[in-house]
């Protein structure tokens, strides 16, 4: 008894001292000492790609990865972040009359409006076909459409409207800013987003496990272009000429880093404003740099106009660019200057495999024009979302599980392979403009591409 | 599944019991306070949900005001705890601008409550709700991720910049990529930091604003890359700030890539697997007496930067307490009750108790020894002598 009392007194004194210290404590001014209390053997060893569950750094070739000789303190996206919240066992919403999916489109009058309409047509076709296939007892799919406005944050408000409309998931959009803010809302409303058209590499770097992107991003194009410009064409004096905008900045960001890591930093990196006509200052600087390669990033009409001005000024460098230069506006504005331009592109539009041929025929029959990649990825994204709903039922959390755990999927755009950030890392093709036409080259082999991903 | 070998595993209920029996300690002793810890531990949890009038599973925010009123922001309305212990709901039908409440703040001078929702900011004052939206005020955007009161100004973090409402004049200022250091105006947290305002920017790290000077200073992850953290303790762990808390010169930053602490001179960072931090996906931090209470997708971590106590929920819904002391083996104990859910979205802690908002209900953490000792410390000398 006495011993027990002494023990109790000792415990009480110890607790009093500890609690007193806690009450009196002030935050220390210096750095706290290392608090690690790891069991023996837990120190990190140098990691190799074989240790990773998913391709590191968006499948970037090892020689283009930053700090590649150093084991970083922490790596991300070598495994997928799980969602640990509740909801998988929540009952289905009562009295459902349809299975609702949101579609966030860019403003029709904005710079991405026409592409947004093409995406919308692909999505509409997917919904019409899916609903035509519904059997007895199956609820129809319903598309809840909203159009963004070119104001920062507008897409956030629209994503909240999707929650109010009780959609089971949503699709969208092209503009990186809008997709970013909608994604953050997606985390709060716990509703999955499939992105079908935003090339912003930073979109999926936000670590929000409520997004799959079926549209291969500008990082993928960046390392393919870097390989093409520096290794295949042995260019040494590379100029980057890009739109002064957020898409322009994040679009070429990785290309610039990649060529620098290959030992060939850009000799000039200059900007233009969308719609600029007069670029004499930049032109003089670029001419003085005596480039052997120019990489363009911007709207195809702008780039076409500048390509023509470059040639007229006597610049003989090879022209390179991203996928958008395949749009008609580039060759229309470039004229003969388009000849020889080389770009990265998602896949060969002249593919003859049945899924692509059948899709193009159905799309042309429905809308009177051939589909482009926005329509095709919109169609695939919509079908993937509807597949997830059919598989998981009308439960947003189980839909998330289905989509976020997907490693591969195949649509009319070809086989997709998703990495640890839920990005489609299917390799890019190359297209060259010769004699008034684009000619495709198949994707080259890439590291970590363990499955057959060629679309040609 | 995201696992790391260095994280102490969660024992199953049976294994935990066996460990305790082997150690010769009774189950009751499992949740007793550890006397050498420099901050209080939670002894057990009381949980609140639909049976107590909470209208939705998801509780985004919790706030105990200076007059001890308890408010919570939920998926389906704002709620106040009544004397009966049950919660009373206020929704759009009462004037709230949207049912989904994300954040709460008290104006300690007036007692007003500021309520951030998915569609607008609301002021609860003298029993009335006044709504501010993007279209009828100077609010930058309707989605309000964070709200803070600093003197006679209310600050909001929105999807399109930070907003400052001057209460004396009713005028607004917006801070975004056009007039501050934010290169992207996606703001997700705002907190008063002495004379300054700290703004958590999604992709822009932390922007420190001095309203007296009108100046801005940026804190960014020096490696500027999201695929890794190159060096620990060199700055914010990541530029995507999900929440901020400031107390007595110390700033705590939540990100989805780990946790950071800044004392005005030096940074300290923690990541899952290389520290006792339960998960990199940190969503909320509350600072109290130099101790950070960190809510994440895998439970609750409490630390002064040296010692850690973690609260988890295992697969059998058993509450687990992990104690990490410097250079000692991890101590793992079962708890008599568990957090309502491991997905922690909001917190408020004082010397009496801890309130925890989760994705499936509200929890009250009953502090073990500190409750008694706080009373002792607050007692008058006469009371102490009795």
Last residue in a domain, options A326, A345, A364? A345
Higher pLDDT, A448 or B246: B246
Whether A61 is covered by a domain: the verdict is no
Specify the length of chain A in residues. Answer: 456
Q: How many other CB atoms are there within 10 angstroms of residue B192's CB atom? A: 16
> Are A274 and A111 contacting, i.e. CB atoms less than 8 angstroms apart?
yes
Mutate which of B76, B179, B221, B228 to test chain A, going by most A C-beta atoms within 10 A?
B228
Residue A254: strand, helix, or coil: helix
Domain that holds residue A223: 219-345
Spatial CB neighbours of A361, under 8 Å, sequence gap ≥ 6: none
Determine whether the interchain pair A79/B6 forms a contact, defined as Cβ–Cβ distance below 8 Å: no
The residue extents of the domains of chain B are 13-385
Does A409 share its domain with A294? no
Q: What is the distance in angstroms between the Cα of B84 and the nearest Cα belonging to chain A?
A: 28
Is B159's CB within 8 Å of A156's CB? yes
Q: Which residues between 211 and 270 in chain A have a beta carbon less than 8 angstroms from any beta carbon of chain B? A: 246
Q: How far is B220 from chain A (nearest CA, A)?
A: 15
A-chain residues near B276 (CB < 8 A): 35, 37
Q: What is the pLDDT of residue B325?
A: 95
Chain centre distance of CA A163? 23
pLDDT band with cut points at 50, 70 and 90 for residue B115: very high
Which of these, B65, B86, B19, B43, lies nearest to B362 by C-alpha position?
A: B86
Instruction: Provide the chain A residues 372-431 that lie in CB contact (below 8 A) with chain B.
Output: none
Residue A249 or residue B374, greater confidence: A249
What is A214-227 written as a DSSP string? Answer: -S--HHHHHHHHHI
Rounded Cα–Cα distance for residues B292 and B279 (Å): 15
Per-residue pLDDT tens digits for B57-102: 999 999 999 999 999 999 999 999 999 999 999 999 999 999 999 9
Name chain A contacts of B60, Cβ cutoff 8 Å. Answer: 188
Q: Report if residue A92 sits inside a domain.
A: no
Nearest CA to CA, how far is B72 from chain A (Å)?
Answer: 16
Chain A residues whose CB is inside 8 A of the B100 CB are: 160, 163, 188-189
Choosing from A345, A365, A385, the residue where a domain stops is A345
Contacts of B304 in chain A (CB under 8 A): 25, 32
Q: Which of B331, B284, B289 is nearest to B309 (CA)?
A: B331
For residue A350, the distance in angstroms to the closest alpha carbon of chain B comes to 36
- Contact check, Cβ <8 Å, A180/B247: no
Considering only A223-237, A401-415, B1-15, which range has the smallest mean pLDDT? B1-15
Looking up residue A136, the CATH number of its domain turns out to be 3.40.50.2300
Q: So what's the pLDDT on residue B15?
A: 43
Name the 3-class secondary structure at B298. coil
Identify whether residues A117 and A210 lie together within a single domain. Answer: yes
| Domain edge (last residue) among A290, A310, A345 | A345
Distance from CA of B197 to the nearest CA of A (A): 19
SS3 content of chain B, % helix, strand, coil (to 5): 10, 45, 45
Amino acid A257: pLDDT: 96
For residues A195 and A281, membership in a common domain is answered with no
Of A35, A81, A184, the CB nearest to B2: A81
Note whether A103 and A203 are same-domain residues.
yes
Q: Do B306 and A35 touch (CB under 8 A)?
A: yes
Which CATH class name applies to B13-385? mainly beta
Residues 6+ apart with CB under 8 A from B143: A153, A156, A157, A160, A181, A185, B102, B118, B119, B158, B159
Nearest CA-CA distance, residue A73 and chain B, Å: 5
pLDDT tens-digit readout, A149-177: 877 789 999 999 999 999 999 999 998 88
**Contact (CB, 8 A) for B110 and B98:** no
Nearest Cα residue in chain A from B305: A32
Query: Which H or E element spans position A16?
Result: helix A2-24
pLDDT band at B350 (very low <50, low <70, confident <90, very high): very high
Half-sphere exposure of A394 (CA within 13 A, CB side): 18
Residue A333 and residue A224 in one domain: yes
Residues contacting residue A62 through CB under 8 Å, at least 6 positions apart = A49, A68, A447
The stretch A3-10 carries a mean pLDDT of 52
Inside any domain, residue A2: no
Longest dimension (CA), chain B: 67
Query: Is pLDDT larger for residue A180 or for residue B26?
Result: A180
Mutation site, A17, A73, A163, interface B, largest B CB count within 10 A: A73
* A354-367 vs A373-392: helix crossing angle, rounded to 10: 100
Question: Residue A67: what pLDDT?
Answer: 87
Phi, then psi, of A419 in degrees rounded to 5: -95, -165
- Using a CB-CB cut-off of 8 Å, the residues of chain B touching A32 are 261, 268, 304-306
In a domain, residue A4? The reply is no
Strands (DSSP E) found in B67-186: 70-74, 77-81, 87-90, 101-106, 113-117, 120-125, 128-132, 144-150, 153-158, 161-166, 171-175
> Is the domain of A105 the same as that of A204?
yes
Nearest Cα residue in chain B from A79: B2
Q: How far is CA A16 from CA A11, B220, B273, in A?
A: 9, 41, 33
Query: Would A194 be classed as within a structural domain?
Result: yes
Average pLDDT over residues A92-117: 95
DSSP for B320-377, please give it. EEEEE-TTSPPEEEEESS--S-S-EEEEEE-SSEEEEEETTEEEEEEESHHHHHHHHH
State the DSSP string of A95-117.
Answer: T--SEEEEEEE--TTSTTHHHHH
Q: Does A46 touch chain B (CB under 8 A)?
A: no
Q: How many domains is chain A partitioned into structurally? A: 2
A17 band by pLDDT with thresholds 50, 70 and 90: low
Same domain assignment for residues A208 and A224: no
Average pLDDT over residues A197-226: 96
Please tell me the least confidently modeled range out of A109-113, B93-97, B361-365: A109-113
Instruction: Establish if A154 belongs to a structural domain.
Output: yes
pLDDT at site B247: 98
Neighbours of A195 (CB within 10 A): 30
Nearest to B227 by CA among B253, B204, B257: B257
Q: Are residues A301 and A388 in the same domain?
A: no
């Amino acid at each position: 008894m006495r011993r027990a009392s002494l023990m109790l007194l000792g415990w009480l004194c110890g607790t009093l001292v500890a609690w007193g210290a806690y009450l009196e404590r002030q935050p220390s001014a210096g750095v706290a000492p290392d608090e690690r209390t790891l069991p023996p053997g837990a120190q990190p060893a140098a990691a190799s790609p074989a240790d990773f569950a998913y391709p590191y750094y968006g499948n970037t070739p090892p020689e283009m990865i930053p700090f590649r000789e150093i084991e970083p303190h922490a790596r991300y996206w070598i495994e997928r972040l799980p969602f640990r919240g509740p909801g998988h066992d929540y009952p289905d919403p009562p009295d459902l009359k349809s299975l609702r999916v949101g579609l966030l489109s860019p403003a029709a009058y904005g710079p991405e409006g026409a592409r947004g309409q093409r995406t919308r047509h692909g999505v509409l076709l997917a919904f019409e076909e899916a609903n035509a296939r519904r059997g007895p007892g199956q609820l129809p799919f319903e598309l809840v459409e909203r159009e963004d406005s070119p104001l920062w944050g507008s897409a956030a408000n629209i994503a909240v409207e999707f929650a109010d409309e009780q959609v089971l998931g949503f699709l969208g959009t092209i503009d990186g800013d809008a997709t970013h803010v909608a994604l953050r809302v997606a985390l709060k409303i716990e509703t999955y987003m499939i992105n079908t058209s935003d090339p912003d590499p930073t979109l999926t770097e936000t670590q929000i496990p409520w997004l799959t992107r079926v549209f291969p991003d500008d990082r993928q194009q960046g390392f393919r272009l870097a390989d093409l410009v520096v290794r295949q064409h042995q260019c040494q004096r590379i100029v980057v000429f890009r739109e002064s905008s957020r898409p322009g900045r994040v679009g070429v960001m990785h290309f610039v880093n990649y060529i620098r890591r290959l030992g060939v930093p850009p000799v000039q990196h200059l900007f233009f404003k969308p719609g600029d006509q007069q670029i004499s200052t930049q032109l003089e600087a670029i001419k003085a740099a005596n480039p052997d390669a120019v990489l363009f990033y911007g709207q195809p009409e702008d780039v076409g106009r500048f390509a023509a001005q470059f040639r007229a000024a006597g610049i003989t460098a090879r022209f390179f660019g991203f996928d958008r230069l395949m749009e008609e506006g580039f060759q229309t504005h470039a004229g003969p200057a388009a000849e020889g331009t080389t770009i990265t592109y998602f896949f060969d539009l002249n593919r003859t495999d049945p899924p692509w041929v059948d899709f193009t025929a159905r799309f042309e029959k429905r809308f009177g024009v051939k589909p482009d990649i926005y329509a095709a990825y919109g169609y695939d994204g919509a079908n993937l979302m509807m597949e997830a709903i059919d598989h998981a039922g009308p439960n947003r959390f189980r839909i998330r599980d289905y989509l976020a755990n997907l490693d591969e999927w195949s649509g009319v755009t070809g086989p997709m392979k998703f990495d640890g950030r839920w990005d489609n890392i299917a390799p890019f093709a190359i297209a060259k403009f010769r004699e008034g036409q684009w000619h495709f080259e198949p994707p080259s082999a890439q590291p970590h591409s363990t499955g057959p991903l060629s679309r040609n | 599944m995201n696992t790391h070998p260095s994280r102490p595993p969660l024992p199953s209920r049976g294994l935990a019991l066996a460990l305790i029996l082997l150690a010769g300690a009774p189950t009751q002793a499992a949740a007793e306070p550890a006397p050498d810890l420099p901050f209080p531990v939670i002894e057990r949890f009381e949980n609140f949900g639909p049976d107590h009038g909470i209208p939705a599973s998801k509780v985004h925010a919790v706030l105990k005001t200076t007059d001890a009123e308890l408010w919570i922001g939920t998926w389906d309305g704002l709620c106040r705890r009544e004397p009966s212990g049950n919660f009373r709901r206020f929704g759009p039908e009462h004037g709230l601008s949207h049912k989904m409440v994300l954040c709460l703040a008290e104006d300690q001078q007036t007692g007003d409550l500021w309520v951030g929702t998915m569609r607008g900011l609301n002021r609860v004052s003298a029993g009335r709700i006044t709504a501010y939206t993007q279209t009828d005020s100077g609010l930058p955007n309707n989605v309000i991720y964070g709200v803070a009161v600093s003197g006679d100004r209310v600050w909001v973090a929105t999807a399109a910049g930070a907003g400052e409402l001057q209460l004396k004049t009713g005028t607004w200022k917006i801070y975004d990529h056009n007039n501050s250091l934010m290169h992207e105006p996606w703001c997700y947290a705002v907190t008063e930091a002495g004379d300054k305002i700290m703004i958590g920017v999604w992709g822009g790290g932390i922007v420190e604003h001095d309203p007296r000077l009108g100046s801005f200073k940026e804190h960014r992850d020096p490696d500027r890359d999201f695929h890794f953290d190159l060096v620990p303790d060199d700055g914010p762990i990541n530029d995507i700030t999900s929440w901020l808390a400031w107390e007595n010169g110390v700033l705590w930053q939540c990100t989805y890539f780990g946790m950071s602490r800044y004392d005005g001179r030096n940074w300290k960072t923690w990541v899952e697997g290389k520290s006792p931090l339960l998960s990199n996906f940190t969503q909320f931090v509350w600072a109290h007496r130099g101790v950070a209470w960190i809510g994440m997708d895998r439970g609750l971590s409490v630390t002064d930067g040296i010692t850690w106590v973690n609260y988890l929920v295992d697969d059998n819904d058993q509450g687990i307490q992990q104690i990490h002391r410097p250079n000692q083996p991890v101590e793992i104990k079962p708890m008599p009750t568990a957090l309502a859910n491991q997905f922690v979205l909001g917190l408020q802690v004082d010397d009496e108790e801890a309130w925890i908002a989760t994705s499936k209900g509200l929890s009250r953490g009953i502090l073990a020894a500190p409750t008694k000792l706080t009373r002792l410390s607050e007692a008058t000398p006469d009371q102490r002598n009795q």
